[in-house]
Each structure stands twice: as structure tokens, then as C-alpha cells.
Amino acid sequence: MVMNVIRAGGYAMMLNELVNQVKAARRSKVRTIRRDRTKNLVIGAGIGIAVGSAVGVLFAPKSGKETRKIIADKAGETMTTLKENVEAAKDRISASAAAESSRLREAGQKGVEAAKESLKKKDEEKKK
């Protein structure tokens, strides 16, 4: 009886460690994906601003003062859009990570319950 309890505790500890390793791997993957997406977004926005500004200055039919004001306004709009897109991406990633974490937690709990049931059955069989 005592050996079965010890064995059950060992199985539960192994399952818990396995669940923790899966969670850590998932967090690492999500962080890497998030970092790459953010980096690509910033690079793309920077290139877009630079090209747009250069084209705007080269082909502007207006005076320099008017052109600078237009460029400043467009840059401000672009930064606002960029901030909104980054926030939306962050929210989507956060929601996805939370859902996956919840799913993994539930799967781990089901595994622990199944192990407990299996150990109870084995214990009952030994008693018979």
C-alpha cells in the first residue's frame, strides 16, 4: 500500500515535470515568434517611411515648407498606425498563448487523473 502511494507520487511528479517542460518550450517558441514578427514589422515600417519620404521630396510640386509639413503629418499617421498594429498583434499573441497554456494545463490534469485511476486499479487488483 505504501509503495503504491510512493509510486503514485513519483508518477505525478514525472507528469508535472513533463507538463512544465512543455509549457517552457511553448513560451520560448511564442517569445521567438513574437520577437521576429515585431522586428519584421519595425523594419518594414522604417523602409516604408524612408522610401515614401524620399519619393515625396523628389516628386513634390509644392514648396519645401509645405512638403516638410506633409511629410511630418504622414510620418505621424504612419507611427500611429504602426503602434495600433503592434498592439493588435500583441493582443492576438497574448490571447493565443493564454488559450494554449490553459489547454496544456487541462491536458496535464487529465493525465494526472488518469495515472491516479490506473494506480487505484492496480492497488485494488493487488488487494484481491
Model confidence at 102, pLDDT cuts 50, 70, 90, reads confident
Instruction: Answer yes or no: is pLDDT of 35 > 70.
Output: yes
Number of domains in the chain: 1
Give the range of the structural domain holding residue 69, as residue numbers without chain letter: 2-127
What would the grid cell of residue 35 be?
520577437
Total count of residues recorded for the chain = 128
pTM over 0.75: no
**DSSP E strand boundaries for 1-109:** none
Are the C-beta atoms of 105 and 19 separated by less than 8 Å? Answer: yes
Residue type, 42: V
Cα–Cα distance, 19 to 113 (Å, whole number): 14
Mean pLDDT over 62-73 rounds to: 80
Are the C-beta atoms of 37 and 89 separated by less than 8 Å? Answer: yes
